[in-house]
Amino acid sequence: MTQHPRAEIDQLAEASIAALRAPSILNTQPWRWRLEGEHAELWADRARRLDGLDPDGRLLLLSCGTALHHATVALRAAGYAADIERLPDAERPDLLARIRQGAPGPAERDLYAAIYRRRTDRRPFADRRPDGSVLAELGAAAERHGTHLHVVRPDQVAAFASAVAHANAVERADDRYRADILAWTTRPRQERDGVSARSTVPAGSQPVPPRDLNPAAPATLRPGPGADRGTVYLVLAVDAEAPAAWLAAGEALSDVWLTLTARGLAASPISEVVEVEPVRAALRRLLGGAGHPAIAVRVGYPEQDAGPVPVSTRRSGTDTVGLPGQP
């Protein structure tokens, strides 16, 4: 049955609104959607790139990839295949994707519900370790996007932890990096972006040190009794250092994160290991040279009785979605 174009625009608009919930580096939400007849365009918003922390824009593209995958999940939940053309115009590299509703198909709602439950959970996780079958499922989610998920082996966790500590130390000594963190953890409320102290925890005795996201105000989320003993550290790797690979890594990050959320697990990314070049190279060696690390993620079960992490703020559809005829 041919749908009226109006209905298609409505589906695409809904998908772009669901994509607002996507995770992004420091909650910068560095994308814009433009609805154009029967397709929606996803554009990178370079004005939101972090100069100190992300000069190449790799984390910006990862963030846009999470938004793209969220939109796809929303269309599939509505019963459409979602056709995507990635980087369709070499002359306009900031046009990241063109997405159409696609053919009707079975409604896939599993991951859709996870969009609204997913949070970055920075609290130490419980002692129960995610088992091999759930890790295999996460690996399959990464492979769907042509990326690979490496599990840091228990005997490699100490080396991984020192790589994270080293990245943190290098960044703390860098004025431009510190300026990015300060700016995006003290955003005026009406901007509806940035990281709030309500979703960060104070540094404790976690085996892998958390990034300090609290230069201006103390963290207010209670860390709870977890000790991160069951936590698994994953590294998502790509085959090339290039924009298309970083966009795919973002789609994979979203797929892995929504999948683990649907299985009752929680996660928080550790991107400092890819932000500092020598640390990224050391991590690549730790993986045995298999692929280029795009991001690391800690995954575990939240402690029983741990309440929900507060939902983080987002911009509105009016700020991020342009309708036909609008600039």
Ligand X SMILES: Cc1cc2nc3c(=O)[nH]c(=O)nc-3n(C[C@H](O)[C@H](O)[C@H](O)COP(=O)(O)O)c2cc1C
Q: Which is nearer to ligand X, 98 or 122 (CB)?
A: 122
Q: Does 206 bind ligand X (CB under 6 A)?
A: no
Q: Does 269 bind ligand X (CB under 6 A)?
A: yes
Least distance (Å) between residue 10 CB and ligand X:
25
Q: Which stretch binds ligand X (CB under 6 A): 7-15, 23-31, 143-151, 166-174?
A: 23-31
Q: Are strands 39-44 and 148-151 parallel, antiparallel or unpaired?
A: unpaired
Q: Are strands 31-36 and 321-322 parallel, antiparallel or unpaired?
A: parallel
Q: Which is nearer to ligand X, 101 or 271 (CB)?
A: 271
Q: Which stretch binds ligand X (CB under 6 A): 1-9, 117-125, 152-160, 258-266?
A: 117-125
Q: Which is nearer to ligand X, 90 or 173 (CB)?
A: 173
**Where in 291-310 is the site for ligand X (CB under 6 A)?**
295
Q: Which stretch binds ligand X (CB under 6 A): 6-14, 34-42, 119-127, 219-227?
A: 119-127
Handedness of CA 293, 206, 251, 16 (dihedral sign): negative
Among 35, 71, 195, 235, binds ligand X (CB under 6 A): 195
> 206 near 298, Cβ under 8 Å?
no
Assign residue 308 a region (left: φ > 0; alpha: ψ between -120 and 50; beta: otherwise). beta
> 54 near 9, Cβ under 8 Å?
no
Pick the closest to residue 24 from 254, 309, 208 (CA basis).
254
Q: What is the DSSP string of 24-42?
A: -GGG---EEEEEETTEEEE
Q: Does 119 bind ligand X (CB under 6 A)?
A: yes
Q: Does 122 bind ligand X (CB under 6 A)?
A: yes
Pick the closest to residue 293 from 302, 285, 284 (CA basis).
284
Which position has the token pair 């029967």?
38
Q: Which is nearer to ligand X, 59 or 75 (CB)?
A: 59
Question: What is the contact surface with ligand X in residues (CB under 6 A)?
Answer: 23-27, 59, 62-63, 66, 119-120, 122, 195, 199, 211, 268-272, 295, 312
